[in-house]
Amino acid sequence: MRCGKMAAAAPSVPAAGAAWVPVLFISSILCWSYYAYVTQLCLLTMTNIGEKVVCLVAYHIFFMLFVWSYWKTIFTLPMNPSKEFHLSYSDKESLEREPRGESQQEVLRRAAKDLPIYTRTMSGAIRYCDRCHLVKPDRCHHCSVCDKCILKMDHHCPWVNNCVGFSNYKFFLLFLAYSLLYCLFIAATDLQYFIKFWTNGLPDTQAKFHIMFLFFAAAMFSVSLSSLFGYHCWLVSKNKSTLEVFRAPIFHHRTDKNGFSLGFSKNLRQVFGDEKKYWLLPVFSSLGDGCSFPTCLVNQDPEQASTPGGLNSTCKNENHLFPAKPLRDSQSHLLTDTHSWSDIGAKAEKGKVGMSNPALTMENET
């Protein structure tokens, strides 16, 4: 029996090692590009001293920022939900004893009653992870690769061998930006020498292969990186994650793809923070704790309890059905008027007295 367990666990070792292959590939390309640009292009091919100095200084700035942001994206551990979202031992036992359905949802509702949770599953159930045994915070998803729930998960990126989420999304954006600038700078400064070698304007040397291939590689990566960086810039402007593009968040039976969008300026500050001096540096400055997020939605209106689910709605004209709970202090300043938010929440709590919630069924989702 023990041998069987050891044999089953053995394939996971090479699989874990294989996950680093894309990172090693990027690292090897980066090391070669450093040698090709600094040694072969700047030191051995360029004849103008001023051009050499300017190119070397600018190149090392882009190189340092690229490597720094890439390193932070790879080795920043994804943040997991805090202890308050984990079920207590008694709640776990209750959940296992109860038959699947409304009775289990009652256990989850009791566990989540004081948590800042506004999103639900497609059927209106409390979002629960049966692998991590926790109530999922808003925008949190379970990563099948990491086998953990990741706060504000965007995607699992094989090129960094890490989950991109709340803790390192800013680093990932800067990695894309600086890698794009790195490639564009190389392509722009290498272009004239590429043309000279291509037209036989320079003698064939060892540098010819490095300079010509360097231009092709930089131009190719620039095209792919520009589309990916542009896509994530759009996500930031709309305050969405990649997962939320494919599955819009649901607020008590109401799907709202823009439910977390607070406007361009506030959306940008959620990722980069209030201190503009840190925006271009790979240091953590994102706002909040990753467990709760302000929304553009207003609190629950009891009159709309019978409204069918799956309807799209706007942030300004309709009320959304979700619990009236205060946002955390780290998030509330992103709202335009925190006092009006609290007032609306108090009214909604009064309106809920004597009303029962619709029956919910538990769903597990990634």
Give catalytic residue positions.
157
- Between vectors from CA 130 to CA 126 and to CA 133, what angle results, nearest 5°? 85
Question: For residues 214 and 208, what is the distance between their CA atoms, to the nearest angstrom?
Answer: 10
Question: For residues 126 and 242, what is the distance between their CA atoms, to the nearest angstrom?
Answer: 22
- Dihedral angle of Cα 252, 263, 77, 284, to the nearest 10 degrees: -150
* Structural contact between residues 183 and 196, judged by C-beta atoms closer than 8 angstroms: no
Among 251, 258, 257, which residue's Cα sits nearest to residue 307? 251
Contacts of 361 (CB under 8 A, 6+ apart): 101, 102, 105, 123, 124, 125
Q: Which two tokens stand for residue 105?
A: 């949802």
Secondary element (H or E) of residue 22: helix 21-34
Residue 305 exposed, middle or buried by CB count within 10 Å (0-12, 13-18, 19+): middle
Number of alpha carbons in the 13 Å side-chain half-sphere of residue 1: 0
Question: For residues 117 and 106, what is the distance between their CA atoms, to the nearest angstrom?
Answer: 15
